[in-house]
Amino acid sequence: MQILGIGILTWIVFLPIVAMIFVLLVPKGRETWIKWISVVATGLQVILAAVLLLNYRYDLAGVNTLEGFQFVEKYRWIDVSGVAWFGRIVIDYFLGVDGLSMPMVVLTALISFIGAIASWELPKTKGYYALYLLLDTGMMGVFVALDFFLFYIFWEVMLLPMYFLIGIWGGPRREYAAIKFFIYTLLGSVLMLLVMIGLYFSTSIIDPVTGEKVHTFNMLAMMDPKNYEPGSIFSGLHTTWRYIAYIALFIGFAIKVPIVPFHTWLPDAHVEAPTPISVILAGVLLKMGTYGMLRISFPIFPDGMIKYALPMAILGFINIVYGALAAMAQEDFKKLIAYSSISHMGYVVLGMAALNTQGVTGAIMQMFNHGTITAMLFLIVGVLYDRAHTRGLYEFGGLANQMPKYFGIVIIAFFAALGLPGLSGFISEAFVFLGAFQTYKWIAIFSATGVIITAGYILWTTQRLFFGQLPERWKNLPDINARELVTLVPLAIIVIFLGVYPSPLINLMNTSVNHLVKFVSEMGQAGMQLGILP
Amino acid sequence: MNQNTLILLAILALLLPFLGFVLLIFWGRKRLPRQGDVIETGLVLGSLVLSFIIFFNKILYFPNPIEWKFEWVNFGFVENWGEMKITLGILIDNLSATMLVVVTVVSSLVHIFSIGYMKDDVRYSRYFAYLGFFTFSMLGIVLTNNFFTMYVFWELVGVSSYLLIGHWYEKKSASDAAKKAFIVNRVGDFGFFVGIMIIWASLKTFNFGEVFAGIEQGKLSGGLLTAAGILVFCGAIGKSAQFPLHVWLPDAMEGPTPVSALIHAATMVAAGVYLTARTYAMMSADALTFIAYIGAVTAFIAATIAITQTDIKRVLAYSTISQLGYMTMALGSGAYVAGFFHLVTHAAFKAGLFLGSGSVIHAMHHALHKIHDHHTDPQDIRNMGGLKKKMPITYYTFLIYTLAISGIPLTSGFLSKDSILAGAFAFGKLSGHTAIPLIGFFVAGLTAFYMFRLLILTFHGEPKRKDIFEHIHESPKVMVVPLIILAVLSLWFIFGPNPFDASATWVEKYIHKPESVVPHEQQFEFNLPKEGVLVTEYEHALHEAHIPAMLLSLGMAGLGILFAFLTYQWGKISAEKVANALKPVYTFLKNKWYFDELYQNTFVLATLGISKFARWFDIKVIDGIVDGSAHLTKLWSFSVGKFDWNIIDGLVNLLAYITGFFGYITRLLQNGKVQTYIIYVVFAVIVLFYIFLG
């Protein structure tokens, strides 16, 4: 599918870059133009995502089959022959979506758009929006790239603007937070890079143009054991090197999720980041970690996945319970929400580790739902912070009467976060548990206790903020305004809609999820039984 | 009228209150007339009419259950599973049809009562909106045909309960109570959900009928089946405030009194009993024994606490817990119909008791307001007394409810309670669990005692505070009429023609104990059908137990009432003296067996402690390692820098220095004077000559 001769995925990825160039060209003193350009560009991205949705074919699986991917764009990007002993280097510009990435594309477009609106009041507009749009391209690119090299490039592209956005527009400890974020993520990137290079030298395919054998970064090729050269480092199944690679890759992605104990960058980054950046960070960036596992780790290293599924499920449990407990002890509203994010991402990890239809469906749904719910939560924190300039939970009380509309929105978001049926968070959590229970009974049961703790800290927070008597100093806090409502209400509608009728989201991913589960478990099991496969 | 119409009507009955909620929450305060109270009440009355239509049609014309299903989610074909999909839907059988009527009747009356009681409330329309939301969720529980939506609505009633308990959230005690109610219920729901997971994983469906069919085919049996039954019952332990999760209900009295009547007495708390009745067929003998004991223990604990309480609503709250325990015990001991029957009768008289107490509190409140007393507790029965003269209608209706809950003939309570005790009696005899009937009869006496204590202290005797008493008035019509209706509903003829024969009531006629689907070896021996015998051993024992149980329960109730009169009316026994004589027991009961303190000091403090530890661990240990490694790296890089500066650069500099030194030395030779150079030359020439020629 093409628009003006350019593929629609290229449009959706690079539209923000185009807008960024316009933003940079805007003359001084025209800050409003910059804002409108950005909002329109991200708005167009949402429309493009909607176009993708309307033309999406629900019967195609994707995952490891090229035919199963949709809106595919594949061009030769880099072709250098004879670089020293490397031989010929061929890298493709290879984009496509399937059921795993489609929900993420929609989520990214949506959250970026809402983030752009929420950024309206930030200072140093030009620099901010330029970086913001660059970030947008990076995120979108990660979700549609099918070439590992390209994936890596987008992954890194997103890192740099994030560093500056936290480091310049952040709170008092912004430099510490930004550096921590950067170095942590970079550590993950290095691990990913090493595995990627190892995979590059292990796989080779016949180049359709010249007919000669070349190494490749093509993810789909890496998923097929036949493409591995005998004797190369990652050939075979269930070899030590493959396990090491799986773990390295896992840590690389785990940092992003974040999985305990690699999580401490998150509370710092969130607390220091300005509201819209927190929204992006929690709403989209965290999902890149779990998406990476689904897109790369699982199908390329199914043997490693099967081997380490149990530890992964345990990590999911730890995330859920530990995150919830740590959240309960926080006195800073934003930090509490940050820890709740860690807890909620644990559901994703647990669901994926279950490796069955319900678990993985629940996991991807949770990625989407957490994206919308947590975006709401951070916007909510922002609304309060903009007015009161403090986030201390013990400094408030009685806001329910002072800010009734705000209270109404908060109640929806809070109840969604604690997994109340009728709201989207419940559906994904329930599916994760139902799925996980089939594979790991006790881990699922222990993890479900997290639901009680979550209710505890959410309701306690509600009480501290909204109930009781209003302190004298907050007598003049204005209620939520129209612009803030514009950012929150659409998310609330999505949360309610998917809570009552989740089928649109489930159907979107269903074929791919079933295929992924089958492919990964069969491949992993096969190697297990037969020893080493070609 | 055909089945589809009935289903349609049921959906309508379900959605009408929800419509009211939506209207009131968005437009209630500013746009709607009278803040929308009449609209919401009208919609619930609509639901009531529909419920009656459904009820009569169902029991008269449709002997079989009516079910409607739709596919909600489809995962397609799944390996090791088959077609994975979740179907939801609605089930109308005699049980749900009866419950439908119970819920809408009480809800309608509470709506009407609230118009008077909540007049001039700060959040009047919000209150009615939440009532609507509650009614919707409660009807959802009643109508659902599967575990999944059961759980969904289960939590939704929890939320409406949370919102309504915390209606006056300016008070810390109210918001605390709301929070406690929700979290304690979550603990029960956790168990419920684990039970659902077991069912889903082993039977691949949520639908009640399909689940039972699956169990019958042996797909789920043994310990796992018992576990599933007990875990599902955990939901009931939370919602029906059974021991050990009963602690939230007394605190829930912080909510407005009509809410206590509707949610925390008549309907929502009975949902647990309803759930147990719904899933009754899958309960194994072990699970049933567990249920019976939980019920009995609950009934006993709550009744003992009720004796010592002085807050009118708290006495009623503990009596609710105790009665719910009764119902649970009945179900556990096999008296299925009796348990459900008691749910129905209890709904009417307990709602009445609460609304009656609401009428009293309302009057007290206004009187206190008149005399500008803002410190006296309007709910404390020690400030009341003699209200009978001022509030005759409230008094006489209250008397009827009290007689009903005590199980005195001519009331509905007599019919249902009597059957429960007969069931417990038969169960105790056959299974050897004699504690169950013993507790049952003892609690019957206790109930009569504390209820009459409440009645006497509130309405009889001399007023304890004359100043308040002078300003007490009977409540307005909108409040009194629901009281009268509920009083009528607490009489025997609503249920059957014979005031002494429970088996002649329509409840016994139309509600039947479901056939157990549990494998025979996991059922009670005495419940199994025998060759050549028409009735089971249990039914036989039940029949025999009927008359003795009736006499015994009447005796116990009579004793309880007698003691109440002796103590509080005639003053023959001094309550203080008894309390002093049994000081430790009294303190123990007065403090509600110290459950709150126990939980506070164990679970709550432990959770908070662990959560503080998690925070500490994050900041000190994990971030310690992260920052520590950063510092180490920095230190290392500094030392590398030092090395670079001192050693490597030092060497380079040394080299330069040496070079410079020699340069300096040689520079000394070249002082720029021609004479010196000539001397060098001459000297050199001499040396050369000496070398070459010497």
Q: Chain A interface, mutation test: which of B26, B123, B160, B170, most A Cβ atoms within 10 Å?
A: B170
In angstroms, the CA B417 to CA B667 distance is: 123
Question: How many alpha carbons fall within 13 Å on the CB side of residue A152?
Answer: 22
Contact criterion met (CB below 8 Å) for B443 and B300: yes
Q: What is the 3-state secondary structure (H, E, C) of A5-53?
A: CEEHHHHHHHHHHHHHHHHHHCCCCCHHHHHHHHHHHHHHHHHHHHHHH
Q: CB–CB of A463 and B200 under 8 A?
A: no
Q: Is the pLDDT of residue A534 over 50?
A: no
Among A183, A264, A445, select the one facing B618 at the smallest CB separation.
A264
**Does any domain span residue A136?**
no
Residue type, B245: L
**Does any domain span residue A3?**
no
Q: CB–CB of A326 and B187 under 8 A?
A: no
For position B694, what pLDDT does the model report?
67
Longest dimension (CA), chain B: 159
Q: In a 3-state reduction of DSSP, which class is residue B495?
A: coil
Q: Chain A interface, mutation test: which of B70, B84, B615, most A Cβ atoms within 10 Å?
A: B615
Assign B665 a pLDDT band (cuts: 50, 70, 90): confident
Phi, psi of A224 (to 5 degrees): -105, 115
In angstroms, the CA B310 to CA A284 distance is: 56
Q: Take residue B638 and report the two structure tokens written for it.
A: 């500094």
For position A531, what pLDDT does the model report?
45
Among A325, A463, A503, select the one facing B614 at the smallest CB separation.
A325
Domain ranges of chain B: 335-573, 599-690
Alpha-carbon gap: B416 to the closest alpha carbon of chain A (Å) = 35
Contact criterion met (CB below 8 Å) for A327 and A390: no
* Chain A CA closest to residue B29: A404
Alpha-carbon gap: B198 to the closest alpha carbon of chain A (Å) = 8
Q: Chain B interface, mutation test: which of A262, A361, A428, A434, most B Cβ atoms within 10 Å?
A: A434
Between strands A213-215 and A204-206, the pairing is antiparallel
Q: CB–CB of B201 and A437 under 8 A?
A: yes
Assign A528 a pLDDT band (cuts: 50, 70, 90): low
Q: Is residue A449 within 8 angstroms of chain B, CB to CB?
A: yes
Q: CB–CB of A322 and B614 under 8 A?
A: yes
Q: H helices of A389-502, where?
A: 399-402, 404-417, 424-439, 441-466, 482-500
Phi, psi of B564 (to 5 degrees): -60, -45
Residues of B in contact with A361 (CB under 8 A): 75
Least confident of A131-140, B13-22, B578-587: B578-587
Among B76, B166, B622, select the one facing A261 at the smallest CB separation.
B622
For position A532, what pLDDT does the model report?
45
Q: Is the pLDDT of residue A128 over 60?
A: yes
Closest to B457 measured CA to CA, from B350, B569, B574, B573: B569
Contact criterion met (CB below 8 Å) for A299 and A64: yes
Closest to B141 measured CA to CA, from B127, B151, B128, B132: B151
Q: What residues are paired with A74 via a beta bridge? A: A94
Q: Is residue A390 within 8 angstroms of chain B, CB to CB?
A: no
Alpha-carbon gap: A324 to the closest alpha carbon of chain B (Å) = 8
Residue type, B156: L
Q: How many CB atoms lie within 10 A of CB A77?
A: 15
Residues of B in contact with A327 (CB under 8 A): 611
- Give the total number of structural domains in chain A: 1
Q: Is the pLDDT of residue A431 over 90?
A: yes
For position A30, what pLDDT does the model report?
85
Q: CA end-to-end span of chain A, whole Å?
A: 37
Residue with tokens 């004298």: A472
More confident residue, B60 or A208: B60
Contact criterion met (CB below 8 Å) for A447 and A359: no
In angstroms, the CA A194 to CA A233 distance is: 12
Q: Take residue A377 and report the two structure tokens written for it.
A: 């939560």
Closest to B152 measured CA to CA, from A421, A491, A406: A421
For residue A479, count CB atoms less than 10 angstroms from its CB and return exposed for 0-12, middle for 13-18, buried for 19 or more. middle
Length of chain A: 534
Residues of B in contact with A401 (CB under 8 A): 170
Residues 483-502 on A with a CB inside 8 Å of B are: 501-502
Tens of pLDDT, residue by residue over B171-229, are: 999 999 999 999 999 999 999 999 999 999 999 999 999 999 999 998 998 889 999 99
Assign A213 a pLDDT band (cuts: 50, 70, 90): confident
Q: In a 3-state reduction of DSSP, which class is residue A344?
A: helix
For residue B596, count CB atoms less than 10 angstroms from its CB and return exposed for 0-12, middle for 13-18, buried for 19 or more. middle
Tell me the mean pLDDT in the region A68-77: 90
Assign A533 a pLDDT band (cuts: 50, 70, 90): very low
Q: What is the 3-state secondary structure (H, E, C) of A151-211?
A: HHHHHHHHHHHHHHHHHHHCCCCHHHHHHHHHHHHHHHHHHHHHHHHHHHHHEEEECCCCC
Q: Tally C-beta pairs within 8 A across A and B.
A: 133
Q: Is residue A476 within 8 angstroms of chain B, CB to CB?
A: no
Among B179, B186, B201, select the one facing A452 at the smallest CB separation.
B186
Q: Take residue B493 and report the two structure tokens written for it.
A: 């003829």
Alpha-carbon gap: A119 to the closest alpha carbon of chain B (Å) = 29
| Residue A483, domain extent | 301-524
In angstroms, the CA B688 to CA B669 distance is: 19
* Cis before B244 (ω within 30): yes
Alpha-carbon gap: A516 to the closest alpha carbon of chain B (Å) = 11
Assign A86 a pLDDT band (cuts: 50, 70, 90): low
Q: What is the 3-state secondary structure (H, E, C) of A280-322?
A: HHHHHHHHHHHHHHHHHHHHHCHHHHHHCHHHHHHHHHHHHHH
Q: Is the pLDDT of residue A87 over 80?
A: no
Q: How many CB atoms lie within 10 A of CB A310?
A: 13
User: What is the separation of C-alpha A511 from the centre of its chain, rounded to a whole number of angstroms?
Assistant: 21
Find the Cα–Cα–Cα–Cα dihedral A466, A469, A474, A477, rounded to 10°. 50
Residues of B in contact with A468 (CB under 8 A): 169-170, 172, 175
For position A323, what pLDDT does the model report?
94
Q: CB–CB of B78 and A357 under 8 A?
A: yes
Residues of A in contact with B151 (CB under 8 A): 421
- B297-328 burial, b at 16+ Cβ within 10 Å, e below that, comes to bbbbbbbbbbbbbebbbbbbbbbbbbbbbbbb
Closest to A178 measured CA to CA, from A261, A262, A269, A89: A269
Q: Chain A interface, mutation test: which of B203, B618, B627, B629, most A Cβ atoms within 10 Å?
A: B618
Q: In a 3-state reduction of DSSP, which class is residue A333?
A: helix
Percentage of residues of chain B with pLDDT beyond 70? 100
Q: Take residue B311 and report the two structure tokens written for it.
A: 């807050």
Assign A1 a pLDDT band (cuts: 50, 70, 90): confident
Q: CB–CB of B73 and A445 under 8 A?
A: no
Q: Chain A interface, mutation test: which of B21, B125, B152, most A Cβ atoms within 10 Å?
A: B152
Least confident of A134-143, A230-239, A261-270: A230-239
**Does any domain span residue A341?**
yes
* Chain A CA closest to residue B194: A445
Tens of pLDDT, residue by residue over B597-629, are: 999 999 999 999 999 999 999 989 988 998 898
Among B25, B153, B194, select the one facing A445 at the smallest CB separation.
B194
Residues of B in contact with A400 (CB under 8 A): 169
Angle among Cα B653, B654, B657 to the nearest 5 degrees reads 85
For position B385, what pLDDT does the model report?
83
* Chain B CA closest to residue A431: B197
In angstroms, the CA A140 to CA A101 distance is: 10
For position A230, what pLDDT does the model report?
83
In angstroms, the CA B338 to CA B421 distance is: 9
Tens of pLDDT, residue by residue over B108-126, are: 999 999 998 998 888 899 9
Phi, psi of B673 (to 5 degrees): -95, 130
Tens of pLDDT, residue by residue over A131-183, are: 999 999 999 999 999 999 999 999 999 888 999 999 999 888 898 999 989 98
Question: How many alpha carbons fall within 13 Å on the CB side of residue A87?
Answer: 10
User: What is the separation of C-alpha A517 from the centre of its chain, rounded to a whole number of angstroms?
Assistant: 20
Find the Cα–Cα–Cα–Cα dihedral B483, B488, B490, B493, rounded to 10°. -170
In angstroms, the CA A154 to CA A156 distance is: 5
Contact criterion met (CB below 8 Å) for A251 and A240: no
Among A356, A444, A517, select the one facing B197 at the smallest CB separation.
A444
Residues of A in contact with B182 (CB under 8 A): 455, 459
For position A83, what pLDDT does the model report?
66
Interface confidence: ipTM more than 0.90: yes
Among B84, B187, B626, select the one facing A264 at the smallest CB separation.
B626
For position B462, what pLDDT does the model report?
86
Residues of B in contact with A502 (CB under 8 A): 73
